[in-house]
Amino acid sequence: MTPTPEHTGPDDSVRVTAGGDPAGAGIPGARPPLDGGGSRFHHFFDDPRWALAVIRATVLEAAHPQVGAALLDNSTFTAHPWRRLRNTLVSLQRMFGADGQVRAREAARLNRLHQRISGADDRGRPYDALDPAVRAWVVATLFESTVTMCRLGGQPLEQHVMEELYDEFQGFLALLDPGNDSLPPTLDAFWPYYDRVVAHELENTEAMRIILFHLFDHLPAPPLLSGLPVLWAAGRAVGGPLVGAVTVASLPEPFRRRAGLPDVPGARTLMQGAYVTAGLARFLPEGWIRAECVTDLLYRTPGGASGPEGPSAPGSLIDRAAAFVRLVTPLGPDPAGVPGDAPRTADAFFREVLDQTGEGFLTWPDLAAMARELATRLDLDEPEETRLYDAFAAWWRELVGALDTDGDGRVSAEEYAARAPSLAGSALIRVAEVLFDVVDGDGDGSIDETEYRALFRTGFHRDVACDGGRYGRSAFVKDFLSFMTGHRRSTAFDPLLAQA
């Protein structure tokens, strides 16, 4: 992923990669998007300090009333934060990679996803994920937080580097939303725009407060460390408040003052130390801090596999370290050791699987989040993606019609527990059949090992009883229905839909 871009002029609307791929082809007026090793941003994407910068940018995004309301209503960031992080990294890798066709395909997928997100906040104000000003603000927070990351880390960017970086982020927005002119055309004009939004549009939203003060307090262990609950809880108790203090201290002073955010003594010194310390991770062995490595680790489960790797690979080393800690530390039972056919209570299934947004009720956004995760895992295009969403929508109508006894348009845990464990209607069967069809990419009526891994990110023979090396339709539908009605746990579907 290190082709060198060729420029024919500073005002070109198309960047051509070394492979001859027109990155902005077909997009009138598009600026050059990010393209792997040839971009300024590609260097920062693997910078360890960017982890802090992304948290900061997410807080600034959530402080926008439209973004904050959309997150509360539709996002899985509280119940499944690691899955959300993993999907974000995968999307960024695609959007900032060297292949123009991959970038265009990912932009189309993101637009379809955002097209399904709209509504109103608790004050009746509408939000729309396709609003040009909102999309521009999301890009603006990423750019400004990258610049701030370098400044706080003691390595401020030179003016010409900032200008080139800003041009790349404008190209990113142009690829995602052609014709969006909400970002100012020049870097000099950007800073007044940014200050104006911070001063007049950002609010102390509930989504922002959750990210700053509550998310880390209850942050579940990442999949790889799910068998180390005591160790994770101890680290979270120390690290959560520190991350919160560092993030608050890094926010713009006018907003901190207006939002009434705490000014902890020594927080600015701690913040600068955190950015400098994170930068020292660049001395780790080559490849350990690559975003691809982080994504791979977030796919892993104890004893699981996400792809071929050698004994010295980071994931293999972490697996062995985690196994050693479990061996010498009395940490209690390992959740990963729960048998695949172990029973699960209706309450546990409701909390762990159905309530994807973590709000305590089952609503359409919860089922939409399931469809979104499945479509993302399989990297579906139209019309398969729409077929999957439509199947889940039909299942939602069936669920709310059968379980919503008080007529409030949502299903409580009590309403679900009263009837749902025995509910497996035609709509849910249709979901299973549509899911099988989209997983069976070659249409041969069975799922092979490659297709299985595309969905579950695990092995095949070890995880499913195969018939001649194949996973047939009837077996798949039976396993899916057994899982989705809460009858039993599943070594395949639990990591996909219940994992944090």
Q: Computed from CA positions of residues 53, 54, 55, 60, in that sequence, does the dihedral angle turn out positive or negative?
A: positive
- Where helices occur in 280-425 by DSSP H, the ranges are 291-299, 314-328, 346-349, 364-378, 384-403, 413-419
The pLDDT of residue 340: 53
What are the structural domains of the chain? 1-334 (no CATH), 346-498 (1.10.238.10)
The pLDDT of residue 381: 93
Q: How many other C-beta atoms can be found within 10 angstroms of the C-beta atom of residue 152?
A: 26
The neighbouring-strand residues paired with 16 are 6, 22
The pLDDT of residue 372: 95
66: part of which helix (H) or strand (E)?
A: helix 65-74
Please state, in angstroms and rounded to a whole number, the distance separating the CA atoms of residues 273 and 257.
23
Give one DSSP letter per residue of 328-351, joined into a string.
HS-----GGGS-TT----HHHHII
Please state, in angstroms and rounded to a whole number, the distance separating the CA atoms of residues 186 and 194.
12
Residues (pLDDT < 70) of the chain are 1-38, 282, 286-342, 421-422, 462, 465-468
Please state, in angstroms and rounded to a whole number, the distance separating the CA atoms of residues 169 and 190.
12
| Tokens 């070394």, located at residue | 18
Task: Say how many CA atoms lie within 13 Å of 417 toward its Cβ.
Answer: 12
The pLDDT of residue 225: 74
Task: Provide CB contacts within 8 A for 325, sequence distance 6+.
Answer: 228, 231, 331
Task: Say how many CA atoms lie within 13 Å of 459 toward its Cβ.
Answer: 11
First to last CA, the chain: 30
The neighbouring-strand residues paired with 126 are 120
Which regions of 83-217 does DSSP assign to beta strands (E)?
A: 118-120, 126-128
Contact 163, 119 (CB under 8 A): no
The pLDDT of residue 40: 78
Please state, in angstroms and rounded to a whole number, the distance separating the CA atoms of residues 261 and 99.
42
| Tokens 């800073």, located at residue | 191
The neighbouring-strand residues paired with 472 are 446
Q: How many other C-beta atoms can be found within 10 angstroms of the C-beta atom of residue 409?
A: 10
Q: Which of 30, 60, 377 is nearest to 248 (CA)?
A: 60
Q: Which two tokens stand for residue 189?
A: 């004009």
Please state, in angstroms and rounded to a whole number, the distance separating the CA atoms of residues 37 and 347.
48
- Phi then psi dihedrals of residue 82, to 5 deg: -70, -35
Contact 67, 301 (CB under 8 A): no
Task: Provide CB contacts within 8 A for 348, sequence distance 6+.
Answer: none
Please state, in angstroms and rounded to a whole number, the distance separating the CA atoms of residues 344 and 245.
38
Q: How far is CA 262 from CA 75, 216, 267, in A?
A: 26, 17, 10
